[in-house]
Amino acid sequence: MLESYVPIFVMIAGGVIFGVVMVKLNEWFGPHRPNDEKLSTYESGMEPIRSARERFSVKFYMVAMLFILFDIEVVFLYPWAVSFKQLGLGGFVTMAVFIFVLFLGYFYVWRKGALEWD
């Protein structure tokens, strides 16, 4: 049964090896003559003023958190969708309750402004 997954592993291995080989070939066979000018940060000709790390906005974190929670909801939707026919009306009602509770969560997040981008 596991034999059917071998093509996936081969593809992953191929991708990794390809990427690593490209970088390493460049490193080994390309010319390597660094000087100060070449190693400094590129800012379209201007001098860099301060560190490139800006203050990170928390809205990214908010989006990632909410993404995880709704992703888990989707994870439960997959097996339900596959066995939907066999579960009948009862299965539909239980999933409807689940989605309704999480829809409340979505409604709450929307009205509280957690989805605002600024």
Partner 1 sequence: MDSHAVATGALYGYRNQKSSSTNNFFESSVTLETFLFYTLGAVSVGSALMMVTRRSPVMSALYLILNFFALGGLYLSLHAQFIAFIQILVYAGAIMVLFVFVIMLLNLGDEKKLNERFSWKKIVGAGLSFGVLMELIFVFAFSKANLPPSHFEKATDIGTVENIGMQLFTTFLFPFEVTSVLLLAAIVGAVVLAKKKLN
Partner 2 sequence: MVDQALLSLAKFLPEITLAITFCLALLVGVIFRSRPRLSMWVALLGVVVSIALTIREMGITESVFSGMIAVDPFATFFKLIVGSSAIFIFLFSLYSAEVLSTMKRLVEYSSLLVAMTLGMYLMVGATNLLMMVLSIELTGLSSYVLAGYTKEASDSSEASLKYIIYGALSTGLMLYGISILFGLTGGAMDIYAINRALVTSPVNPIALLVASLLIIAGLGYKISAVPFHFWTPDVYEGAPITITAFLSVASKAAGFAMLIRFFKIAFIDSSAVGLPAGIWITLQGFEWNKIIAILSVLTMTLGNLVAVWQNNLKRLLAYSSIAHAGYMLMGLAILSDKGIAAVLIYFVVYMFMNLGAFYVVMLVSNKTGSEDIDSYKGLGFRSPFIGVSMVIFFISLAGLPPTAGFIGKLFIFASLLDAKWIWLAVVGAINSVISLYYYVRVVRNMFLRDPDENSGPLKFSVPEIVLLLLLVVPTLLFGLYYSPIVDFANASARMLGVH
Residues in contact with partner 1 by CB under 8 A are: 1-3, 5, 9, 51, 53, 55-56, 58, 60-62, 64-69, 71-73, 75-76, 78-80, 82-83, 86-87, 90-91, 94-95, 97-98, 101-102, 104-105, 108-109, 111-114
Asked whether the beta carbons of 98 and 76 are under 8 A apart, the reply is yes
Read off the DSSP letter of residue 30. Answer: S
CA gap 94, 87 in Å, rounded: 10
Q: Which is nearer to partner 2, 18 or 108 (CB)?
A: 108
What b/e readout covers 78-107, taking b as 16+ CB neighbours within 10 angstroms?
eeeeeeeeeeeeeeeeebeeeeeeeeeeee
Contacts with partner 2, 46-85, as mask; x by CB under 8 A: ----------------------------------------
Neighbours of 35 (CB within 10 A): 7
Quote the least distance from Cβ 91 to partner 1, whole Å. Answer: 5
Q: Which residue in 69, 104, 114, 115 binds partner 2 (CB under 8 A)?
A: 104
Q: What is the DSSP string of 37-69?
A: HHHSPPSTTSPP-S-S-PPPPTHHHHHHHHHHH
Q: Which is nearer to partner 1, 1 or 44 (CB)?
A: 1
Residues found near partner 2 in the complex (CB under 8 A): 90, 101, 104, 107-108, 111-112
